[in-house]
Amino acid sequence: MHLRVSDLAVTRSGRPIFSKLSFTLSAGEALALTGPNGAGKSTLLRLLAGLLPMSAGKIVLDGTDPDTPFSEEAHYLGHRDALKPALSSVEVLTFWRAMLGRPALAPRDALDRVGLGHAATLPSAYLSAGQRRRLSLARLLVAHRPIWLLDEPTAALDQASEAMFGDLVADHLTRGGLALIATHTPLPIPTRTLSLKASA
Ligand code: ADP
Ligand code: MG
């Protein structure tokens, strides 16, 4: 699998955020997106997730089913945890597993993997910020998607959870996945880096 992004440009409310952005990423590689607040890291991830239109450029993904749109090959985790407060952790993951297709780990196994096995039936509203983030990360494990688009995934994680996150990504890369990770702090895995400049 190989991702080639060339000359990508995006405008938001008429304002150019970035242009002529190009990079490539191959199976087993992670790319850290860095740059100051407002540089366009979240914008780039949302665009790749199919949530924002591009104004120019090309995104080509080789080595996957050509009939599957790019956004359906990708897991997108925004920097806010998308959790329904009244649903338990296991219900949240059951929903995502059905919604995303290509099921992988069972919800309870995914919760064990992120250290939330004890909280499986608690409403997600009762979880701490770090636990909510771990529940969001468990979503990556309940459905197979080869591209992970992660927006500041380690925010709110303690040291042990950050190491657990590193293991999740390393396993994903070993299985031939790709990851693009916006971050302000060093990541616990080796990555290449794409540094976005402040937008005018
Ligand atoms: P980063 O994630 O690097 O901090 P963002 O991608 O969130 O940056 O934002 C890039 C720029 O786009 C910022 O200047 C931000 O204010 C602007 N922006 C974000 N959302 C919108 C929107 N809905 N409409 C217009 N501009 C937006
Ligand atoms: Mg951001």
**Ligand 1, atom 14, residue with closest C-alpha:** 38
Report the greatest alpha carbon distance in the chain.
Answer: 48
Structural domain boundaries of the chain? Answer: 2-195
The number of the ligand 1 atom at minimal distance from the alpha carbon of 40 is: 6
On the question of pLDDT at 128 being above 80, the answer is yes
| Predicted local distance difference test score (pLDDT) of residue 74 | 97
Quote the pLDDT of residue 126.
Answer: 96
pLDDT of residue 1: 94
CA distance 109 to 119: 12
Residues 77/147, Cβ–Cβ less than 8 Å: no
Residue 106, CA distances (Å) to 45, 93, 140 in order: 27, 8, 12
For helices 129-142 and 89-100, give the axis angle rounded to 10 degrees. Answer: 30
- Over the stretch 134-176, which tens digit does the pLDDT of each residue have? 999 999 999 999 999 999 999 999 999 999 999 999 999 999 9
CA atoms of 21 and 3, how far apart (whole Å): 13
Taking the CA of 40 as reference, the closest ligand is: 1
> Over the stretch 76-87, which tens digit does the pLDDT of each residue have?
999 888 889 999
Give the model's pLDDT for residue 200.
60
CATH number at 2-195: 3.40.50.300
| Dist. CA 191 → ligand 2 center (Å) | 19
Q: What is the pLDDT of residue 66?
A: 87
Nearest Cα residue to 10 out of 37, 43, 42, 36: 43
What DSSP assignment string belongs to the chain?
Answer: -EEEEEEEEEEETTEEEEEEEEEEEETT-EEEEE-STTSSHHHHHHHHTTSS--SEEEEEEESS-TTS-GGGGEEEE-SS----TTSBHHHHHHHHHHHH-SB-S-HHHHHHHTT-GGGTTSBGGGS-HHHHHHHHHHHHHHB--SEEEEESTTTT--HHHHHHHHHHHHHHHHTT-EEEEE-SS--SS--EEEEPPPP-
Mean per-residue pLDDT for 50-71?
A: 92
Closest atom of ligand 1 to 151 CA is 2
Residue 97 Cα to ligand 1 midpoint, Å, equals 30
Which ligand 1 atom sits closest to the C-alpha of 44?
6
Neighbours of ion ligand 2 (CB under 5 A): 41-42
Residue 161 neighbours by CB distance under 10 Å: 18
pLDDT category, 181, cuts 50, 70, 90? very high
pLDDT, residue 81, reads: 85
